[in-house]
Amino acid sequence: MTMPKTARLAAVGLVALVVLGGAWAWAHDEGGASSQSTDDAYVQADFSTVAPKVQGLIAKVLVEDNQQVRKGQLLAVIDDRDFRVAVDAAEAQLKGAEARAANLRASVQRQSSVIAQASADVDADDAAIKLSSANARRYQDLSSDGSASLQERQESASRLQSDEAAKRRDQAAHSAARQQVPMLAANVTEADAAVEQARAALEAAKLNLTYTRIVAPVDGTVGRRSVRVGNFVQVGAPLLAVVPLRQAFVEAHFRETQMRGIRPGQPVTITIDTLPGVTLKGHVESLAPASGVTFAEIAPENATGNFTKIVQRLSARIAIDPGQPDAAALRVGMSVIPTVDTARRP
């Protein structure tokens, strides 16, 4: 069966178009175009996840889903009774530690008086020994010629020995009193450390009390709210997210063959799938250091015998220029089509 002439011409023309298209695609320098666009782009925002620093029962929730909040605004309150008791206990422990330290300092000051008293006792002993020694010598002389009795001589000698023993006793007490000084000083140092430890515990208790008030870390919109009154929350468990829509940006994934002319600072025109007819202005803020597959948990292994080259994609962060009322309608996750003017050099 012979094909009609028109059919043969159409087939030949189609084959020619395919060949020419393939040749153009093969020889076409995609990276050299004056603009680059991609439909693999989405609205993103660096949102903050709010989580408690202490555990407890939620007593109040002061925000609703999708509510606008300001930085520092109170979002929720954890029942703080246990934490107030902890603060009171820490304050009592601090007062006790301060009292012990003050008592030890008073002991150090009193020890100076004890040392002075012991020194005076030694001086009194010296005077007593001087007198008893003179009496002993006198009675020794008197007893030799019979002027004094043997008993008087023995009593004077005994008095001298007693006074000398008293001096040795008082010297030992004086030495012991002096040795107490470094020990008391060490006790004061230890007491001061206990005071600082108690003061730090009080500050920690007060800090934990402040953590019962959960506030917004940034300006934004509340999302993914899971916190409810009566919930028992754990430390670090996410309660909600605050999305700063005013700082939203576009994350665009360009083919690596498109990236040759894209530079930070170049102007970008952005169309939004959700908002037909709306065009936003932006600029390339930064370029990713690697392709997305580089950061994958299971990276592809290309060192195989049946390797097939696949064009990779690299991300560009596109900032939305301020002063555009339509930008308020953006929501994280929206699909957009950015077009970068690569003819403009930043």
DSSP-assigned letters across all residues of 313-335? EEEEEEEEPSS-GGGGG--TT-B
Tens of pLDDT, residue by residue over 285-311, are 999 998 877 877 777 777 667 777 888
Amino acid at 148: A
Q: Establish if 23 belongs to a structural domain.
A: no
Q: Is 207 helix (H, G, I), strand (E, B) or coil?
A: helix
Whether residues 294 and 304 share a domain: the answer is yes
Amino acid at 137: R
Tens of pLDDT, residue by residue over 64-105, are 999 999 999 999 999 999 999 999 999 999 999 999 988 888
Whether residues 260 and 296 share a domain: the answer is yes
Q: What is the CATH number of the domain that holds 257?
A: 2.40.30.170
- End residue of a domain, out of 242, 258, 282: 242
Mean pLDDT of the chain: 83
Residue 167's pLDDT is 67
Q: What is the CATH number of the domain that holds 196?
A: 1.10.287.620
Other Cβ atoms closer than 10 A to 161: 12
Q: What is the CATH number of the domain that holds 228?
A: 2.40.50.100
Whether residues 62 and 89 share a domain: the answer is no
- End residue of a domain, out of 210, 233, 253: 210
Whether residues 90 and 185 share a domain: the answer is yes
Tokens 């002389």 found at: 141
Q: Establish if 61 belongs to a structural domain.
A: yes
CA R_g for the chain: 46
Whether residues 204 and 305 share a domain: the answer is no
Whether residues 87 and 107 share a domain: the answer is yes
**Higher pLDDT residue, 1 or 93?**
93
Other Cβ atoms closer than 10 A to 131: 13
Q: Establish if 124 belongs to a structural domain.
A: yes
pTM for this prediction? 0.68
Number of domains in the chain: 3
Whether residues 149 and 171 share a domain: the answer is yes
Q: Establish if 25 belongs to a structural domain.
A: no
C-alpha dist (Å) from residue 120 to 71, 82, 115, 124, 160: 71, 58, 9, 6, 19
Whether residues 100 and 117 share a domain: the answer is yes
Whether residues 227 and 318 share a domain: the answer is no
Whether residues 71 and 54 share a domain: the answer is yes
End-to-end Cα distance, the chain: 64
Q: Which residues contact 292 (CB under 8 A, 6 or more apart)?
A: 253, 312, 313, 314, 315
Domain around 98: 81-210
Tens of pLDDT, residue by residue over 128-161, are 667 777 666 665 656 666 555 666 656 666 776 7
